[in-house]
Structure 1
Amino acid sequence: MSERTIDISAPILSRNERLASELRERFRTTSTFVINVLSSPGSGKTSTILATNDRLRDGYGLRCAVIEGDIASDVDAVTMKEAGIPAVQINTGGLCHLEGNMIREAVDALDAGVGLDAIDVIFIENVGNLVCPVDFDLGENLSIMILSVPEGDDKPVKYPGIFQHAGAILLNKVDVASAFDFDLAAYNATLDDLNPLAPRFSVSATKGDGMDGWVGWLAAQIGSRKGGEGLSSSACE
């Protein structure tokens, strides 16, 4: 009897693609821009989202919400709510990524709470992992990758897939670069090969370095997806 290999991932991914398509259409009808935030644990996803929210809210008049993905706990969701940001927590119970069915339930909760029509931007803070999340479309408009200086300049070499997947790449915690042996030239050279088209931003989410440039670019993407030519910053008026 000949051997037969069964790919059990195929039906899972096929179902997820269908859910992602349904989510994308739902977001389109409410003009909600969705960002899938990817990184390893400790890179500063939460602090970057908080700092980005502040600037989108105060500078561009946009209301943001967050879907938090963690293996356990609601620490980050509590942090978001304390900052005045609507948030829904997803605990995966050990799963190393978020999937479309989880996002659908979280979006239903946001819709029942504040109303999806009232939300301009949703940040999906994915589970800290540099491998699994890349395979699962969540209906997002943009995926961003956050790498922090303390993690080292070799992460794009070790985990090329997630850097190739990203629509924008943020290098966070640049304010502590002097304390670490981070080879910026080597990092950029690797990204030149892996993903030369994705814009790169060097930021410090907690100190504010580079954040205005990142948020200005993001606001332009949000505005273009909403059918305009970009959003104007009320902070400059």
Structure 2
Amino acid sequence: MCDSCGCSSENGAVISKPGDDSFHIHVDDGVSAGRGDRHDHHHHSHAHEHGRRVDVEQDVLFKNNLIAERNRGYFEARDIVALNFLSSPGSGKTTLLEKTIPLLRSVCPVSVIEGDQQTTNDARRIQALDVPVLQVNTGTGCHLDAQMINSAVRAMDIPSGSLLCIENVGNLVCPAMFDLGEALKVVVISVTEGDDKPLKYPTMFHESDVCILNKTDLLPYVPFDVSACRENAMKVNHHLEWFELSASTGEGFDSWIAWLTSKLSRA
């Protein structure tokens, strides 16, 4: 998996505030993707024995999960609902957040952590909504991990009783394996990607709690079977909460916001 996705950033992740070149936090702990002697997050032990590769993977995930539990304890103690948004590149995660956040202003404060390999483009878009946001650039890393989130949260002043939206790196493979301490995983797919995505990337859909089908406004123009996609997703995970919407037009947002508001009110 890592041979093809390029997860090998030896310099660690860089956390920054958009528009402030003087603010940078480097995350380099040996646990995250491509740190120090690990050289990639689970397969790259440079040993060909299958058992050794499994040992390295379990070791990395074990350390990640310990930090994830610390994050989760912090979030629960402060009534912070953390959502981990996952998708392939271009599915519309940032646009979804741009449309969702203003609709929640009367419900609770919102903070955002943006994950990308490079640039602060998405963080700048979120910053325009006047909410706290930090950018995590993973270099060639293909996912966010628990230590990156821990470092980012320490650099933010997230109020109690708020919503934290974590926009993960665009990738339907590696991010599914890494617990960040979030309350829920939200996988976003779009009608331009193909209705067989849940079957092609089953781990992501199995590990997610919510599936959002985005860009429904394009359905008249693409060969996409909504019923088949939903059926495929439910085959993988019959507990999935399912939403169909368009982040561009706002179609279908009433049910998504109502569900999200209900979750926040019970936190």
**TM-score scaled by structure 1?**
0.88
How far apart are 1:5 and its partner, in Å? 3.1
SS in 1 for 2:249: coil
How far apart are 1:184 and its partner, in Å? 1.5
Answering whether residue 203 of structure 2 is matched by residue 155 of structure 1, we say no
Instruction: Compute the RMSD of aligned alpha carbons.
Output: 1.3
**TM-score scaled by structure 2?**
0.78
How far apart are 1:118 and its partner, in Å? 5.0
CA distance in 2, matches of 1:57, 1:206: 19
Query: What is the CA deviation profile of residues 103-139 of structure 1, one whole-angstrom value per residue up to 9, with x for unaligned ones?
Result: 01110111xxxx2225600100000000101111000
Answering whether residue 78 of structure 2 is matched by residue 30 of structure 1, we say yes
Could you tell me the percent identity over the aligned residues? 39
Where does structure 2 lack aligned partners over 5 or more consecutive residues? 1-48
* Amino acid paired to 1:130: L
How far apart are 1:223 and its partner, in Å? 1.6
The total of aligned residue pairs comes to 217
Contact 1:36–1:123 (Cα < 8 Å) also in 2:
yes
Aligned to 1:50: 98
Query: What is the CA deviation profile of residues 88-111 of structure 1, one whole-angstrom value per residue up to 9, with x for unaligned ones?
Result: 00000111111111001110111x
How far apart are 1:206 and its partner, in Å? 1.5
Relative contact order (alpha carbons < 8 A, sep ≥ 6): 1 or 2 greater? 1
SS in 1 for 2:192: helix
Instruction: Summarize the alignment of residues 1-237 of structure 1 with structure 2, pairs less than 5 Å apart.
Output: 5-6=51-52, 7-58=55-106, 60=107, 62-110=108-156, 115-118=157-160, 120-224=162-266, 226=267
Moved over 3 A (4+): none
Contact 1:64–1:119 (Cα < 8 Å) also in 2:
no
CA distance in 2, matches of 1:9, 1:222: 34
Where does structure 1 lack aligned partners over 5 or more consecutive residues? 227-237
Structure 1 residues 4 and 53, CA gap change in structure 2 (3 angstroms):
closer
CA distance in 2, matches of 1:65, 1:134: 22
Structure 1 residues 172 and 212, CA gap change in structure 2 (3 angstroms):
same
